[in-house]
Amino acid sequence: MKLDVSRCTLSSFFKCSLMLGSVVILQACDQQQVKPEGESQATSEEGVKISTANTKADVVTVSAKSLTQVAGQATVPVEADLNPVTVPEDAKAFIGRYHTEIDCDGRFAPCTEGKAEFILTLMPDGTVHRSILQYGKVFIDNTKSSTAHNITYRKDRWFINPERTDIVVNRKEGASFYYKIKDSNHLVMNLEKIYSEKEKTNRELFDRGYPAPSKAYELVKDTSFHIQE
């Protein structure tokens, strides 16, 4: 009888071992099946985050410093994040927007046919907004800006020369543009000074293809334009 009991116990033991082994194998299989699903879910979540980030980047709102807005508005607010330095009292009469019609010569204006509008806005903090418009297109730095984040606030500066004969615009690239003062409402591009031998940086930039005016365009002040302080 002892032998029978041993056999029975041993048989039961093998059966239990087989059952336990099967459970372990099944659990291992389940874990392997669950893991990729979890990984794919994490990847999916990351994918949503990336997609959301890209969407947000594409729809970032541009402030009023956008030149498309500056060109189209009757008023422009002064940027709060700029250095709050203001131009001297005797220069404040020239604060405002000046514009003129220019030829599409493919050089000073990036367009090659018809006419375009050149806009120069002299800000009270001494900075400058400038752009070229043609049939709704906005050109900055001699290239067409097709997206909002490409339209940047320029760091050009302006001042009146000591002789009070010209408005001088120092562009961020190093070029200096002179506008002869007829009165506070009329400025004329001073080609003689722009192309002067003293302006070596101008000449070097022009030789490399930097946009250069070929005519002494007269800019007229837009008296309906106001800057919100």
CA distances from 40 to 29, 34, 46, 83, 172 (A): 17, 10, 10, 50, 50
Residue 104's CATH number: 2.40.128.640
Consecutive H or E run containing 193? helix 191-194
Q: What 3-state class would DSSP assign to 172?
A: coil
**Both 48 and 74 in a single domain?**
no
**pLDDT recorded at residue 180:** 99
Range of the domain at 7: 1-59
Alpha-carbon distance 117 to 100, whole Å?
6
**pLDDT recorded at residue 110:** 87
Query: Encoding tokens for residue 164?
Result: 């009070």
Q: How many CB atoms lie within 10 A of CB 162?
A: 6
Interacting residues of 228 by C-beta distance below 8 A, sequence separation 6+: 75, 76, 77, 78
**Both 45 and 126 in a single domain?**
no
Per-residue pLDDT of the chain (229 residues; tens, 9 = 90+): 444 544 444 455 445 444 545 444 444 444 444 444 444 444 433 333 322 222 222 222 233 333 334 444 544 444 444 455 689 999 999 999 999 999 999 889 888 889 999 999 999 999 999 999 987 666 655 544 443 333 344 579 999 999 999 999 999 999 999 999 999 999 999 999 999 999 999 999 999 999 999 999 999 999 998 887 6
**Residue ending a domain, choose from 59, 81, 101:** 59
Contact yes or no for 171/156 (Cβ under 8 A): yes
**Both 176 and 221 in a single domain?**
yes
Q: Which residue has the tokens 């490409």?
A: 150
Alpha-carbon distance 107 to 110, whole Å?
6
**Both 44 and 97 in a single domain?**
no
**Residue ending a domain, choose from 59, 81, 97:** 59
Query: Encoding tokens for residue 43?
Result: 């990847």
